[in-house]
Structure 1
Amino acid sequence: MKFTLMKTMALCALCCSFASPMIAKAAGSSYPDHPIRLIVPWNAGGSNDIAARELQKLIAGQGVTVVVENAPGATGSIGMGKAARSAPDGYTLAMGTSSTLAQIAMKLTTLRNDEFTSIARVSVDPLILLIPKDKPYKTLPQFLDYMRKNPGKVSIGTPGTHNINHIFAEMTARMAGVSYINVPYTGGSQVIAGLAGKQIDAAVLKPSESLGQIKSGLVKAVATFSQQRLQVFPDLPTFKELGYDVYPYGPLVQMAYVVAPKGLRPAEEKKLISIFSKAIDSKEFAEFAERNGFVVSPLTGDALQKEIFAVQGTLDTVGSKVFKIK
């Protein structure tokens, strides 16, 4: 009797040893089995928040729940820091941007790009210079002339500081040959509100952050910093065609992308790339991009990581030139 009991227990233990890997595999294959948190390190209503919520809707169609969490502050560094410190289990993601890369270049954050696993690029965004309505200046040359006549008094609003928006604001002032006042906000929605309310004299924003106010006549776009005219604003001239070089130190790319904390397992990484790629590559997201004036230029995984480090390199150079960062 005792021998039979021992033999039965040994058989059970052997069965469990074979079953455990199968159970673990089954558990892993169920990912994601609860909501994924996507941290947007900017205020609600800005371009990255709008894009994140569109992806949230499209991903829901795949049966996956994404919860968007806004964590603004420090030009994106607060929200990105929260993501970097989270468990690499696939349930916490963040929307990185070139602004965060600029913060790294300026040594204004302790964040590093190798603290993240790259998932998918969401957008490539052009930037434009805007002014309020009913101002004495209506064109870029007129605005630059206004800056010259009011040295050190003209204000340009940007979402955050020491980012690509700020770089282009600095370049605009350099074209006028005078100093100016940079007015940083915690997000694009606050900048456009300040501009429409005539609290600032100009702003550097994305089309997606200003389309509504442009169409309603509250603000006016005077030029785009991109190398070509924008499909959403075909009549808007570029700085380049007006005779101004805003890329003297190399091209700058303003982009948004999804990352996870470093240490994400390959299975979850592959699944996340699949989930986000399906949404980003969809017809619905392409139409959304066209309506909001940004470009869908998909990159995922290692290819995206390579692009992030390339943009970082350019920003490191630009930062040392524009802001004298050593």
Structure 2
Amino acid sequence: MNFIRFVIAAVIALACTAASAATFPSRPIRIICTASAGSPLDAMARMVGKLLTDELKTPVIVENRVGGTGTVGMALAASLPADGYTLVTGTGSTSFLLAESKSAIKASDFLFFRGLQAEPSSMAVLASSPFKTLKDLVAALKTDSSKVSIGGFAAAGFHQYVLYRLQQNAGFDAVWVPFNGGNQAVLAVLGGHVDAVGITPSSALGQIKKGEIRLLGISAPTRDKNFPDVPTYKEQGFDVVEQIWRGLLLKRGTPPEIVDRLNAALDKVEASPEWKSFMTANMQVPMGLSSAQMQQHVETEVASRREFMAKMEGSKK
């Protein structure tokens, strides 16, 4: 009798899930943005929300929940039903959060179902800086690292990881000065508080275009078409290739039919002229990964970041 009841309950649950997927979406969708308003991640989320609203014929609302390098927003998303009505932004910085041994947020909590943008790190200095190339900066660090200050967003985050890779490759020591955001790092180098900053180029587009800041190099695999005059790290003799991603996450357990529906809508978003214009204006490149490939990409990334963070912890002892 209990077995029959279990089967009936399972059939009812499947029927409800199928009915829910068939009518999805039937109410507004929320995108929780884990970065502040005006940031590159926020700009991405708002453009996605606007175009998804048109595509799904239902409001898609962006809500900023900032704090803990994404912990606040992700914790909220993890507490809500896995029904496709709550999406949360993720970035390459999310991989560092998930790599923390004491993190309350686990990779198994989410589906990393969509990567939308990829952008390299760059080493930026004032236009008046004596450092004209990345080799100049590295030479100064190898001579006396105490006289060269380097900073960027977050402690043990993406940009510090890129610097760590550069240190390994070139053989020098450096002290990292963390800031609460890429914008603050840009202001710090403009104010002469640090000599160089590791940033995504989109964090300082205005200053780059005005000629106030110069990029010494980017960590892309090849020259970025948006910055054709900026050599890669690899071109300058440093085998460092890293890019930060931005995308969308769903709570694990979201019905596959709903994931497919959202992916199909996002396919159309990415193919739209408005999205392509947005990407060009913000100097971003698409990731072009399937949901399965994106999931594997993040899992591999988390493993490499966990190793880096363990070394950072070890160096403090």
TM-score class normalised by the smaller sequence: 0.7 to 0.9
Distance verdict in 2 for CA 1:142–1:49, change over 3 Å: same
After TM superposition, give the deviation of residue 25 of structure 1 in Å: 6.4
Q: Which deviations, in whole Å up to 9, do the C-alpha atoms of 1:57-113 show, x marking residues without a partner? A: 222322232222222222223322222222212221111112111232243523211
Q: Is the 8 A contact 2:156 2:312 kept in 1?
A: no
Q: 1 CA distance for matches of 2:147 and 2:200? A: 24
Query: Which residue in the other structure is 1:184 paired with?
Result: 179
Where does the alignment leave 5 or more consecutive residues of structure 2 unmatched? 1-13
Amino acid at match of 1:225: S
Amino acid at match of 1:293: M
Query: Which residue in the other structure is 1:56 paired with?
Result: 49
Distance verdict in 2 for CA 1:147–1:258, change over 3 Å: same
Q: 2 CA distance for matches of 1:306 and 1:151? A: 37
Query: Which residue in the other structure is 2:69 paired with?
Result: 75
Q: Aligned pair 1:293/2:294, yes or no? A: no
Distance verdict in 2 for CA 1:24–1:221, change over 3 Å: closer
After TM superposition, give the deviation of residue 27 of structure 1 in Å: 5.9
Q: Aligned pair 1:308/2:303, yes or no? A: no
Q: Aligned pair 1:29/2:22, yes or no? A: yes
The percent identity for this pair of structures is 27
Task: After superposing the two structures, state which structure 1 stretch, 144-153 or 120-129, moved more.
Answer: 144-153
Query: Which residue in the other structure is 1:45 paired with?
Result: 38
Q: Is the 8 A contact 2:40 2:203 kept in 1?
A: yes
Specify which structure has the higher proportion of helix.
2
Distance verdict in 2 for CA 1:314–1:170, change over 3 Å: closer
Query: Which residue in the other structure is 1:9 paired with?
Result: none
Q: TM-score, normalised by structure 1?
A: 0.81
Amino acid at match of 1:86: L
Q: Is the 8 A contact 2:31 2:63 kept in 1?
A: yes
Query: Which residue in the other structure is 1:85 paired with?
Result: 79
Amino acid at match of 1:189: N
Query: Which residue in the other structure is 2:10 paired with?
Result: none
Amino acid at match of 2:127: K
Correspondent of 1:242 among 236, 245, 255: 236
Q: 1 CA distance for matches of 2:190 and 2:96? A: 27
Q: Aligned pair 1:152/2:146, yes or no? A: yes
Q: TM-score, normalised by structure 2?
A: 0.83
CA RMSD, Structure 1 to Structure 2 (Å): 2.8
Q: 2 CA distance for matches of 1:230 and 1:316? A: 28
Please say which structure displays the higher CA radius of gyration.
1
Q: Which deviations, in whole Å up to 9, do the C-alpha atoms of 1:111-156 show, x marking residues without a partner? A: 2111012331111211111112323323223323443555335332
Q: Is the 8 A contact 2:33 2:66 kept in 1?
A: yes
Task: After superposing the two structures, state which structure 1 stretch, 41-50 or 154-163, moved more.
Answer: 154-163
